[in-house]
Amino acid sequence: MEYNDFKTILHERRSVRRFTEQEVAVEDIKEIIDCARYAPSDTNSQTWEFIAIVNREKIKEIEQMTWDQLHKRAAEAEQRGLSKEARLLVKSFGPYATAFSDAPVLIVCLATPYMSKFRDRIFDPVQLVDDAVWAEEGIKSSCLAAQNLMLAAHARGLATCPMTGPVLLASEQLREYLEIPEHSQINMVISLGYPSERPGKLPRKEVDEILRIVN
């Protein structure tokens, strides 16, 4: 592949929140996950798993449990005298947290515990870091796989939108609903489908603002 072709894929990918009614073939989902699994991971630990929900009614149920928890948080905030903030939480954050509602596919990205021969033989015996750090390692690798997933989807003519709203608001409800084991962290959800909108390109910081070169 030419570099400019790859850069075009990067530049043209968008976070899409509106989808057509067209279903996504299971073969396409598997192909995209095949790309995701070739992401790099710490000592090739491959700390990722994915749940692809292709039942629209189940997706709507996840949307509802997210809204339920959002309204619960807003009510608690209002009781503390934060009426304005409670209204903004529902009005402003709610639509973003549930922007997967009309997608034909919802992919739940999981981060599994970081395990490797390095941890077993070296890291844990010398108590290199706290256990919480290993949980972070799993999330880091899972995020790399998620980026592969979204770029692959775009290259295949599909659209995605990564979201953490359901995780921030209803992680325990989502865990119970999908029977996700306790040792797996819920990283994010990604809506997947054929786009019915073409969002504009949002501005980015200039390279010189985010890069420091050390000679």
Kindly report the CATH number assigned to the domain that includes residue 163.
Answer: 3.40.109.10
**What's the pLDDT score for residue 170?**
95
- pLDDT, tens only, 73-132: 999 999 999 999 999 999 999 999 999 999 999 999 999 988 888 888 888 898 888 888
Question: 167 lies in a domain?
Answer: yes
Question: 89 lies in a domain?
Answer: no
Residues spanned by the domain of 65: 14-81+95-192
User: Please, which residues have CB within 8 angstroms of residue 184's CB and are 6 or more apart in sequence?
Assistant: 49, 110, 111, 112, 113
Whether 98 and 66 have beta carbons less than 8 Å apart is answered as yes
List C-alpha distances in Å: 135 to 51, 112, 129, 183.
19, 8, 11, 9
Phi, psi of 5 (to 5 degrees): -65, -45
Question: 200 lies in a domain?
Answer: no
**What's the pLDDT score for residue 142?**
95
Q: Of 93-97, 118-122, 169-173, 191-195, which range is least confident? A: 118-122
Length of the chain: 215
Binning pLDDT at 50, 70 and 90, where does residue 135 land?
Answer: confident
**What's the pLDDT score for residue 137?**
87
Whether 17 and 191 have beta carbons less than 8 Å apart is answered as yes
- pLDDT, tens only, 44-65: 999 999 999 999 999 999 999 9
Query: What percentage of the chain exceeds 70 in pLDDT?
Result: 100
Sign of the alpha-carbon dihedral angle for 126, 130, 133, 138: positive
Closest listed residue to residue 63, CA positions, set 174, 182, 178: 174
Q: Is the pTM of this model over 0.75?
A: yes
Question: 22 lies in a domain?
Answer: yes
Whether 45 and 114 have beta carbons less than 8 Å apart is answered as yes
User: Please, which residues have CB within 8 angstroms of residue 74's CB and are 6 or more apart in sequence?
Assistant: 86, 87, 89, 90
Beta strands 185-193; 159-163: pairing state = antiparallel
Question: 201 lies in a domain?
Answer: no
| Mean of all residue pLDDT scores within the chain | 94
Q: Which tokens sit at 60?
A: 């709507």
Query: What percentage of the chain exceeds 90 in pLDDT?
Result: 83
Question: 3 lies in a domain?
Answer: no
Cα dihedral 191, 184, 127, 140, rounded to 10, equals -10
Measured between alpha carbons, how far is 162 from 191 in angstroms, rounded to an integer?
A: 7
Half-sphere exposure of 6 (CA within 13 A, CB side): 4
* Burial (CB count within 10 angstroms: exposed 0-12, middle 13-18, buried 19+), residue 187: buried
Number of domains in the chain: 1
Question: 87 lies in a domain?
Answer: no
First-to-final CA distance of the chain: 31
Question: 24 lies in a domain?
Answer: yes
